[in-house]
Homo-oligomer: A and B are copies of this chain.
């Protein structure tokens, strides 16, 4: 086994589960191990306390006139349950079928350490880096990065940079280098419809008072037109059209055809906004999704109640130039306007995040493409992502820097699930990618 893999295995053995307070000591030990690795590379390293898990910042000596590049990653991991579904110990990495199997192998220790080891290799081979580098590694990504935005504000002077590089997203297919240049935003809410003051006997009262579950069904159905478009007034007002080059390029990206979406989801059929492919629908068009629906009796068999209330959890994925606050106001207005008679509506706003879009043909974008081309020996594809990574917009808003999303995760990486894995070749490509990226960004 290579020295690099040995180091990764050490990193993966820490059960740095950030959400579980029983693992607080493991998260800290992992951060301290990381500090030690970075110090061995002669970087200036600081472990910063937060109210929960520490942030690790490492820099080479910054020299005026050079580009300043921040590389962001996270050393915390998701919980491992259900443990019985793992084929091997999640915190004792093994290699088989050309992959590393462990919690965090892909998300994010493997991808993040590839950058660290790329820097280590460049320093070893060349003696110095071509750019001013800042590593920013947090231990709270899996719990929503609650302290990272305040940390950026407090350390603004220390963390200013020209561009941010992040390897925490996906590759469309094995061996296909992938540059992400957009993310969807999000806004969430919960709606409660209340009818009778308690669950009623559906025989004694059914037919005379509004059933909150029936009312909820009508209300939720009103969110979409029959053809799949979102039917909220003004919902599409500020949606930026897809560029022609995007639609053309995306047609030829492997692994994201309509047939691929159908196979990966195991769904009974594709369905969505008319006139768009599955990749267009998920990367560049907004949605209204029901995440949860609950009312009345849900156990086995039947219980003939007329429920006192019904609840729905909704989330809306947003694209440029939609504003989460403006969309949420339109959603609330729609729901209140369409609320059926006989029930009372409570609207509870949830979290939100802005959509993100940068230009992959900007100088930094072109540098990233060239680095991907060099390290994978293949032509990179340019994609947006359907998910939301609020921290990317936060880097933009606080540091004024765009992010390059250089994802190395495959679709079968099982992140957040049992048997998480990361191909050894992706780990090695990540090391090369870091070296090429810093070289390209320096130009």
Contact = CB atoms under 8 A, between A and B. Distances in A.
Interface of A: 184, 186, 188, 190, 194-198, 200-211, 213-214, 216-221, 223-224, 261-262, 265-273, 278, 281-282, 285-298, 301-307, 310-313, 315, 317, 340-344, 350-351, 385-388
A278 B204 contact: no
A272 B208 contact: yes
6 contacts: A196-B266, A211-B289, A214-B220, A217-B218, A218-B220, A298-B311
Given A209-B270, A271-B342, A304-B186, A293 B217 contact: yes
A207 B342 contact: no
Contacts of A190: 302
Contacts of A206: 282, 287, 289, 315, 317, 386
A302 B196 CA distance: 26
Most chain B CB neighbours (cut-off 10 Å) among A223, A302, A307, A312: A302
Contacts of A298: 292-294, 311, 313
B386 A315 contact: no
| Copies of this chain per assembly | 2
B281 A291 contact: no
A282 B351 CA distance: 42
Nearest to A351: B302
Contacts of A305: 291-292
B310 A293 contact: yes
A214 B292 CA distance: 10
B293 A293 contact: yes
B200 A265 contact: yes
A216 B293 contact: yes
Given A292-B307, A294-B295, 12 more contacts: A201-B387, A204-B282, A204-B385, A207-B282, A209-B270, A213-B290, A217-B217, A217-B221, A220-B221, A290-B307, A293-B293, A293-B294
A252 to B, nearest CB: 18
Contact of A270 (B262, B286, B301, B342): B342
A296 B265 CA distance: 16
A398 B192 CA distance: 47
Contacts of A342: 267-271
